[in-house]
Amino acid sequence: MKKLCIVIPCYNEESVLPITASVLGEVLRNLISKDKIAEDSFLLFVDDGSTDRTWELIQSRHEENTIQIRGIKLSGNVGHQFALTAGLLAAKEKSDMVLSIDADLQDDVAVIEEMIDKFYEGHDIVYGVRKERSTDTFLKRTTAQLFYKLMGWFGVKTVYNHADFRLMSKRALEEFAKYTETNLFLRGIMPMLGYPTANVYYNRKERAAGKTKYSLRKMCALAFDGISSFSIKPISMVLGMGVGILLVTIVAIIYALVSYMRGEVVAGWTSLILSVWFLGGLQLFALGLVGKYIGKIYIETKHRPRYHIEAELMEDEE
Ligand code: UDP
Ligand code: MG
């Protein structure tokens, strides 16, 4: 029987935490009774520097049930992605599979069993994918969809409509641990691990209690991190623009010279317009070129692992 750990990042979630703890506790008991997970499977709450009573609530539940309810307290608010990472890395030491889920129960706990079945079928990463987003506000829905489109366009592999509701095997997490970058976007990294994956579909619900901890500012920061930590395409666009404008300059030169020779222009216009186009193009070109090098340095400084070994057949011959 495999041991499951459910990681729950929490930032000021005092209003929803009691519900979450009992609902997820029930999920564990149910799975244990069906012999799908080991008896010492547990919940791991990560307190992301909350300023309300979140940590006290975790502590008191841990005292009631020291095996099933555990917690990590981070010293300050580091944001969802880092809080989740802290939980995942701590959980992998003590379990065979790790599920991550938001504290607000927006993700459907009813599909957890299906995720675990997929795990036993040999999938290392099982993504929870939203079927529709009718419970999200119009703003959240459209910006999120735009974001996934943009990510694809910039060449970042992500699972469409998958947030961080995900089951991972211990070995996938071991590989994930090799990503030591600080500019972290989990949804982009997990598909890079390349292990067998599966999707499980569900409808996203309203928050069980409390209100969103993802302000517009945090959402924008996440979107920018997602793109900038995987792609240096924006820099290439600057370079491309520079090249484009230099090409236009050639046309402008011909046009300006022809107009000049026909005597159709006021004195000084030709030289002025040519310098504007030429210098503008040259500047963008140079900026893009420098940017390309900085982009390479940036990618290099991540020290990302270059490959992940999935299976090995190399026992010594007897
Ligand atoms: N969260 C966190 N640190 C933060 C912001 C959010 O750990 O700085 C947690 C939060 O407690 C929740 C999850 O991340 O468990 C998702 O946040 P939320 O539900 O507020 O985001 P939304 O569903 O509105 O995108
Ligand atoms: Mg939420």
pLDDT score for 166: 97
The H or E element that residue 163 is part of is strand 162-169
How much is the pLDDT for 83?
Answer: 94
**To test ligand 1's pocket by mutation, which of 13, 43, 214, 215 has the most ligand atoms within 8 angstroms of CB?**
214
Supply the pLDDT for residue 58: 96
Query: pLDDT band for position 50 (50/70/90)?
Result: very high
Nearest ligand, CA 50: 1
Task: Compute the distance from residue 40 Cα to the ligand 1 centre, in Å.
Answer: 27
Residue 242 has what pLDDT? Answer: 92
CA-nearest residue for atom 2, ligand 1, is 80
- How high is the pLDDT of residue 153? 87
Under the banding of pLDDT at 50, 70 and 90, the label for residue 27 is very high
Q: How confident is the model at residue 88 (pLDDT cuts 50, 70, 90)?
A: very high
**Phi-psi domain of 158 (left: phi exceeds 0; alpha: psi -120 through 50; beta: other):** beta
Q: 87: Cβ below 6 Å to ligand 1?
A: no
Per-residue model confidence (pLDDT) at position 263: 85
Letter string b/e over residues 201-229, b meaning 16 or more CB atoms within 10 A of that residue's CB: ebebeebbbbeebeeeeebeebbebbbbb
Task: Please report the pLDDT score of residue 307 as a whole number.
Answer: 77
Which has the minimum average pLDDT: 104-108, 194-198, 229-233?
A: 229-233
Strands 69-74 and 42-48: parallel
The candidate with the shortest Cα–Cα distance to 98, out of 17, 177, 192, 201, is 177
The predicted pLDDT at position 318 comes to 60
- Is the CB of 214 within 6 Å of ligand 1? yes
Residue 317 pLDDT > 70: no
Percent of the chain with pLDDT over 90: 63
pLDDT of residue 190: 95
Q: Which of 131-140, 162-171, 279-288 has the lowest mean pLDDT?
A: 131-140
Q: Is the CB of 148 under 6 A from ligand 1?
A: no
Q: What pLDDT is stored for residue 61 in this prediction?
A: 95
Rounded CA-CA distance 212/222 in Å is: 15
Regarding the beta carbon of 79 and ligand 1, being less than 6 Å apart is answered yes
Predicted confidence (pLDDT) at residue 229 exceeds the cutoff of 80: yes
Residue 107 DSSP code? S
Q: What is the mean pLDDT of residues 60-77?
A: 94
Protein residue whose Cα sits closest to atom 24 of ligand 1: 212
Please give the pLDDT value at position 144: 85
Q: Distance between CA atoms of 316 and 93, rounded to whole angstroms?
A: 29
| Cβ atoms within 10 Å of 172's Cβ, excluding its own | 26
Q: For ligand 1, atom 13, which residue shows the shortest CA distance? A: 102
CA of 103 to the centre of ligand 2 (A): 7
Mark 13-30 as b/e (b = at least 16 C-beta within 10 Å). Answer: bbbbbebbbeebbebbee
3-state helix, strand, coil in the chain (%, to 5): 50, 15, 35
Residue nearest to atom 16 of ligand 1 (CA): 102
**45-65: average pLDDT:** 95
Nearest CA to ligand 1 atom 19: 212
Q: Report the nearest-CA residue for atom 11 of ligand 1.
A: 10
HSE-CB at 239 with a 13 A cutoff on CA atoms is 13
